[in-house]
Chain A
Amino acid sequence: MLVTWKYRPRDTFIQRLDPRTRFIVLLCTIFALTIPEIWDYRFMIPLFLFSLTQFVLARIEWKEMRRTLFFVFILVFFIIGLNGLLSGRGGPSAALDPNSPIIYQALIPGTVWGITITISKLWFAMTQVLRILAMALPAIAIPYTLDPNIYGTAFKRMGASDKVSFTMDLALRFLPTFSRDLTITVDAQRARGYEVEKLKGGFVEKIRKLAPLIIPVTMQSTVTGEEVIDAMDLRAFDTAPRTWLKELHYAPRDYFMIGLGVVIFLACCILKWGFGIGGFFVPDFFTKFILG
């Protein structure tokens, strides 16, 4: 039982990008949609296609992703999509337009409570799903396409302090050790008749039965910590700025992608705040299509 990273080296455009570029472009996409509050489908579709292109270019195989995509599908369509369709809340007030034609209504007899689905709510739910996918697709690809060993260096080069970056680097180095300790502990407890795969009982009982695994591993790790602190102190850690073994260099493709991300963000801000374009509205073709 080892923690296996989802990351695999692939010779793709996305993996050739500097990790900082990946994070900056992701943030530009998220901020472009959320800060100026973009709900216009004419913005949403190009942004979704931009994110989808990055996702496709990552060339992650279906068998690697199917479990994750299943959870994302449940989240996006059943929780966020249905929430938008039934409540119309969580977005612009225009989604709750009382004059929007009603498609379906089921009220509790004698009351005004029940389910009312309008065209604007339906359009809002569809926009919402597209909006979330535009923000989530590049983030979903990160574990599969970004080398965990480069995280510390990437955060350092993005402005984090040596200590924070080194903490991240050190955590990734500790992970296989603690996973091995966990394996040894599970095996030792199994030898005593403990069956982790068959945790029976209620919620509380299951937690209590995990204690024989969690406590020894945690206590052993605190002992390891003291030894590592001594070793680092002996090597004068934290007395001068550190150098980093891995170097990161921007290539022309990185400048292109960062430039594109910044242009997208600025364009959304200028069009929304300068020209009032980008807000929520239901296009006529959609209303005509639904009403026949």
Chain B
Amino acid sequence: MNNNSTWEFGTRQVVYGAIGAALYGALSWFTNFLAIPAAGNISFRPAVAVLIFFGVAYGPIVGLLAGFIGNTIGDQASGYGFYWNWSLGNGLMGMVPGLIMASITDFKAQNQIIKAVGWGVLGIIVGMLFASLTEMFTSGIDMATAITGYFVPTLISNTVNVAILLPILMIAFAGMAARRGR
């Protein structure tokens, strides 16, 4: 399924970056009604699993673009404003799992699914830590608030989303790719 080099940036990456961004934006907007208890300004986003799936399936460039642009679109559609650090954090969250694209050869193999989920969680940690810590400079909050108020709620909810939905997405993708022969 993955014939491209990890850092290639061609038509394929442009199209899947755009599709990932549009899906991430649309699904984030659709699930805005689900809020995280005790973290009123952080949305609960099952769409994170879709973002990480696009990173794993199509590479780090696609993950980065889908996360950055998708978060911007989601916030735009919801009317929240433009917050560059959260958009970049979402981009990193998609980019990091994309680093293992070349090593994922069978999307329904159990060990590769576990690897993808593990890298997905690493992506969540890197991306959300970046976004939360930069809030110290943009919002002037202290580290304890950045960690407990932003990082921990997003880490927990995104990890649960990825652990449940990413394996389903990967298995569905394997079946669909086999049928299409691509």
Choose, from A10-18, A212-220, A248-256, A271-279, the stretch at the interface. A212-220
Q: Is there an interface contact between A142 and B12, defined as CB atoms closer than 8 Å?
A: no
Looking at B21, B26, B73, B173, the one whose CB has the most chain A CB atoms below 10 A away is B26
For chain B residues 139-175, which have a beta carbon within 8 Å of chain A? 139-145, 149, 157, 160-161, 164-165, 168-169, 172-173
Chain A residues within 8 Å of B161, by CB: 207
The segment from B76-84, B98-106, B112-120, B121-129 found at the interface with A is B76-84
Determine which of A142, A171, A229 lies in contact with B11 in the assembled complex, contact meaning CB atoms within 8 Å. Answer: A229
Q: Which residues 158-198 of A have a CB within 8 angstroms of B?
A: 163-164, 166-175, 177-179, 182
Nearest residue in B to A155 (C-beta to C-beta)? B69
**How many residues on A have C-beta within 8 angstroms of the other chain's C-beta atoms?**
76
Total A-B residue pairs with C-beta atoms closer than 8 Å?
Answer: 197
Q: Taking A136-B81, A139-B83 as contacts, is the C-beta distance between A218 and B15 under 8 angstroms?
A: no
Q: Pick out which of these stretches binds chain B: A85-93, A104-112, A113-121, A258-266.
A: A85-93
Contact partner of B16 among A34, A87, A168, A225, CB < 8 A?
Answer: A225
How far does the alpha carbon of A171 sit from the alpha carbon of B12 in the complex, in Å?
14
| Residue in B11, B23, B165 whose beta carbon sits within 8 Å of that of A221 in the complex | B23
**B70, CB-defined interface residue at 8 Å:** yes
Contact pick for B22, options A89, A174, A199, CB 8 Å: A174
A211 touches B79 (CB 8 A): no
Q: Is the CB of A171 within 8 A of B25?
A: yes
B30 within 8 A of A: yes
Beyond A5-B77, A74-B41, A148-B76, whether A214 also contacts B15 by CB under 8 A is no
Supply 8 A–B pairs (Cβ within 8 Å), ascending by A. A90-B141, A139-B82, A143-B79, A148-B73, A163-B14, A175-B26, A225-B19, A237-B14
